[in-house]
A and B are shown apart, each in its own frame.
Chain A
Amino acid sequence: MTREVYHRALKNLEDEVLKMGNMVTDAIRKSVEALQKRNKDASREIIANDIHINKKRFEIEEKCISLIATQQPMAVDLRELTSILSIVTDLERMGDHAEGIAKISLLIGDEPLVKPLIDIPIMTEAGLSMLEKCLRAFVNRDVEAARRICNEDDRVDALHDQIYRELLLLMIQNPKIIHQATYLTWVSHNLERIADRVTNIAERIVFMVTGRMEEMNVSKY
């Protein structure tokens, strides 16, 4: 193999993307746990830590730009770099969704939850499982795995609909909880958006490997 320094830099960049993926995974999981346990300190910590995710995104962007400027990447390498630029944008926004959930948890304040959270943790794990598979597909250049991830998004969307209907019913039965129940629909919305962003990443992986852009997460509306 020639151009070893360049290819090592590309590999390091992949590792950085994985690192950022793990930071985002951590933030999402902890934001829902903090909501469940009503742990305000944990929520505040997630909000404070979002800056590290943002920084990581800019670091990766800078490295991509520097490689493009200095190494003139071509073909699959060029597609990988432009895909990474897009992937880190999605990851950064997923971090913002985790921060959003942490903020909602603080907005709910000291009130006990109107109901035990059942579907929201299931939805969280479904989204995180998609993200984990997506990061693995990125490393393995696995187009088929990336395509399958998009099918899993339907389950997350269905859970979101279910949570929305359930909370709506509770609000009708007891208007006093409208305030908190509305917040919980926002949590669900954040989780639904997280899964959507995973599908964006999956689309980028398909492009990175095949050179073709495929719209895989078609809206049902």
Chain B
Amino acid sequence: MEKVRMEVPDPIVNIIGLSLYYGKTKALKEINLDISKKRITSFIGPSGCGKSTLIRCLNRLNDLIESVTIEGSIQIDGQDIYAPSVDVTELRKRVGMVFQKPNPFPKTIYENVLYGPRVLGINKKSSLDDICENALKRAALWDEVKDRLHMNALDLSGGQQQRMCIARALATEPEILLLDEPCSALDPIATSKIEDMLVELKRDYTVIIVTHNMQQAARISDYTGFFMLGELVEFNITTEIFTNPREKQTEDYITGRFG
């Protein structure tokens, strides 16, 4: 069935006819989707629906998998990110990513947060201190760690580690922050801290989050896309998706009638 492309205000990402193959298996099928700037967009759907695959296309993380081929295009600020001229490191600076399990480096909190800026060549101590403080403040972790920035990040709690990973992603000043099930390994209190933080972050960043937790999508996102078997079944304003979805498949999934 032909899907109407939903118009969103001020789109920063345009996904146009995107298909992705793992070898011969088509994991994403002609995805057409625009993502609004400085809003939270969430992707939901059953396991294997392609939502994580899609988010990984947005900073070309799938390039690291040899068997992957891609058709269609993704534009960020009007620029095709799969064009040969694109510097992938520069792209990943603009499009930061946080994963399901917190993955701190076995280094101090300070060195973790500043890993990206150092790779980008920033060495001045005062600049690095400011970047670290700002990133940790934005990730709502500063008050908890400001007196122990030089302790090993692995000694933080799971929730703190995840917020530190978000701070690490923010330290390179990305425009877009991708989060792939960032709270699935966290308890409800740590989850709500991250959710509150993401809502704050959308003042300055475009946030795209993959989540298995539908209530999380409902709570924090402005737009929600529902995926199934590699297809974008429905994309709409979050309140519409959760109160009056257009597609029966969406309705069946979010009401727990399948999935």
Residues on A lying within 8 angstroms of B by beta carbon are: 1-3, 6-7, 72-79, 211-212
Contacts and interface: CB of A to CB of B under 8 A. Distances in A.
B255 interface: yes
Contacts of B215: 72
Interface in B213-259: 214-215, 218, 242-245, 250-251, 254-259
A79 B243 contact: yes
Contact of A6 (B218, B242, B256, B259): B256
23 contacts: A1-B257, A1-B258, A2-B257, A3-B255, A3-B256, A3-B257, A6-B256, A7-B256, A72-B214, A72-B215, A73-B255, A74-B214, A74-B218, A74-B242, A75-B242, A75-B245, A75-B250, A75-B254, A75-B255, A76-B255, A77-B255, A211-B244, A212-B244
Contacts of B255: 3, 73-77
Contacts of A79: 243-244
Contacts of B256: 2-3, 6-7
Chain B interface residue bracket vs A: 10 to 19
A103 B251 CA distance: 47
A74 B253 CA distance: 10
Nearest to B240: A211
A79 B242 CA distance: 10
B258 A2 contact: yes
A212 to B, nearest CB: 8
B243 to A, nearest CB: 6
Contacts of B244: 75, 79, 211-212
Q: Which of B215, B250, B257, B259 is most buried by chain A, counting CB atoms within 10 A of its CB?
A: B257
A28 B227 CA distance: 50
B251 A75 contact: yes
Nearest 10 A/B pairs, CB to CB: A211-B244, A3-B256, A74-B254, A77-B255, A74-B242, A75-B251, A2-B256, A72-B215, A75-B255, A75-B254
A79 to B, nearest CB: 7
Given A72-B215, A74-B218, A2 B243 contact: no
B143 to A, nearest CB: 31
A211 B240 CA distance: 10
Contacts of A74: 214, 218, 242-243, 254-255
A213 to B, nearest CB: 11
Contacts of B218: 74
Contacts of A75: 242-245, 250-251, 254-255
Given A74-B218, A75-B251, A76-B251, A211 B258 contact: no
A74 B256 CA distance: 9
A78 B258 contact: no
Contacts of A7: 256-257
B242 A2 contact: no
A23 B258 CA distance: 36
A176 to B, nearest CB: 59
Nearest to A71: B256
A214 to B, nearest CB: 14
Interface in B50-100: none
